[in-house]
Structure 1
Amino acid sequence: MAGTAFTVLGLCLTLLCLLNFIFVFGTGVEFIRFISLQAIFYNISGAVQQPKGDDANREWNIILRDPRVLRPLAVDLGLIIVFILQHSLMATSTIKRWITGIFGVLQRSLYVFSTSVVLQVIMRYWQPVRDAPLIWSASTVPWNTWIPLICFVLHFFAWLIIFTIILIFDYAELMGVKQIYYYCLGLEDPLSMKSLRAQRLYSHLRHPVYLEFLLILWAVPCLSLDRVLLATLFTLYLTCGHSLDEQDYRYLRVQLDRKLEIFSREEITYGQLLAANGSRSENADKEQ
């Protein structure tokens, strides 16, 4: 009877984990559209335009007192503060212990779910500032074509590096999938089974995509006031959460060398298998 109850619990946890994974993955895709594609292609399509006439010639001390500018900035500031509070408080040891005491193995899944919910709120209620000049804008020929194209390439490679780093850092564990899998197998938390050096690195490196995300924030063809607010606050937040030291860098270097060695070994093995299969095919053709 206890085994049946455990199986039902495992199935329920697996279903919740799967639904959470779909929601978080969809949020990630939508966040890429919000933070990268929208900032690049809206400029190409002309949806982002410089104010004309008197609005373009106003001084900044007047612009920053305009309610049409302050109101959306205040809303955006509130949204970012909510994200920072959620993302930081839920990562503290006290809150983690409290959530684990209530939700158990779902602690990590609840963290990424809450982060995704806050990101959904930000993307849906973000207020662009349309009544202030742009800080910069690639609006003259030929830069209105080349600058967005260069930004697109930079963003593409930045996201590619981010996805690679996430995979290296164990995507299943970051999403809370491995915790539930280990729980169903009767094993301990995945992080507790890692080496002390790995646990030390994870405590210092809350955001393994620091430089890449900064590039995405700032490398845009046009920079509006709301984008400045978003990029500045996220830059400060990422900087505060990035505290690697020399020991962490040495550990990362060792792990990278090991993974490259594994990949090289697998590539050599795969090449040998292809060569062996090719030789067998040639021998079979000769026998025929």
Structure 2
Amino acid sequence: MERSTFVLAASAALALLLWQWRPIAEPVIWRVDDPVARIALQGVFWMGWGVLLISTFLINHFELFGLRQVWANLRGHALPAADFRTPLFYRHVRHPIYVGFILAFWAAPTLTAGHLLFAAASTGYILIGIWFEERDFVEQFGQRYQAYRQQVGMLLPRFGARGRKSPGQP
């Protein structure tokens, strides 16, 4: 229940933040006026949400949100050992869900002080979360995850590692 409780609490906190957010319109940190550049930034924004959504489908939704664990516990079943896989985006970056969030938060044609505060705080929260998640993955998957960390970038692809297979791939 730990994971599902955390997901529920984090979602509730984010919903409260978004509901109670009061815009800080001034000062404007940057404003992109060129129409082509604005469209490009909006494309990056939507690409971020797309990467995030697709990445969640690449892994088990019920497990991601902790529901699989709770359901198994309620039914008195043991969960099978977690399977380490690196489908699609996970072959290039270790945390594509977080990459999607970061792209969506920062790709703004107009960045106000309030948006900057939100994007910076959210990015900091993500980086702290990655630290804990990576620690747990090393504990859970051991050397396989350590090798994966050596080959695949955390948030940015490592282009020099292109020809190598990610651990867990056939």
TM-score, normalised relative to structure 1: 0.41
Deviations 1:203-251 (A, max 9, x none): xxx9652333222221100010011111122222322333457523369
Question: Is 2:12 the counterpart of 1:117?
Answer: yes
What is the aligned length?
A: 138
Written as runs of structure 1 = structure 2, the 5 A alignment for 1:55-204 is 106-130=1-25, 132-139=26-33, 143=34, 145-189=35-79, 193-194=81-82
Corresponding letter in the other structure for 2:111: L
Distance 2:7 2:129 in 1: 17
Q: C-alpha displacement at 1:108, in angstroms?
A: 2.9
Partner SS for 1:254: coil
Equivalent of 2:101 in 213, 218, 242: 213
Distance 1:177 1:133 in 2: 43
Corresponding letter in the other structure for 2:29: I
**Larger C-alpha radius of gyration, 1 or 2?**
1
Deviations 1:61-118 (A, max 9, x none): xxxxxxxxxxxxxxxxxxxxxxxxxxxxxxxxxxxxxxxxxxxxx4333222211211
Corresponding letter in the other structure for 2:82: K
Structure-2 change in CA distance of 1:237 and 1:109 (3 Å): closer
Deviations 1:167-197 (A, max 9, x none): 223211112221233235431245xx226x7
Corresponding letter in the other structure for 2:57: L
More helix, by proportion: 1
Question: Is 2:167 the counterpart of 1:254?
Answer: yes
Given that 2:52 and 2:98 are in contact with CA atoms closer than 8 Å, whether structure 1 keeps it comes out as: no
Structure-2 change in CA distance of 1:146 and 1:161 (3 Å): same
Partner SS for 1:194: coil
Partner SS for 2:37: helix
Consecutive unaligned residues in structure 2, runs of 5 or more: 86-93, 135-144, 153-165
Indicate the structure whose relative CO is greater, using CA pairs within 8 Å and at least 6 residues apart: 2
% identical aligned pairs: 23
Given that 1:109 and 1:176 are in contact with CA atoms closer than 8 Å, whether structure 2 keeps it comes out as: yes
Structure-2 change in CA distance of 1:113 and 1:239 (3 Å): closer
Structure-2 change in CA distance of 1:239 and 1:112 (3 Å): closer
Question: Is 2:126 the counterpart of 1:238?
Answer: yes
Question: Is 2:115 the counterpart of 1:227?
Answer: yes
CA RMSD of aligned residues (A): 3.0
TM-score, normalised relative to structure 2: 0.65
Distance 1:170 1:251 in 2: 23
Distance 1:212 1:218 in 2: 10
Distance 2:150 2:54 in 1: 20
Partner SS for 1:220: coil
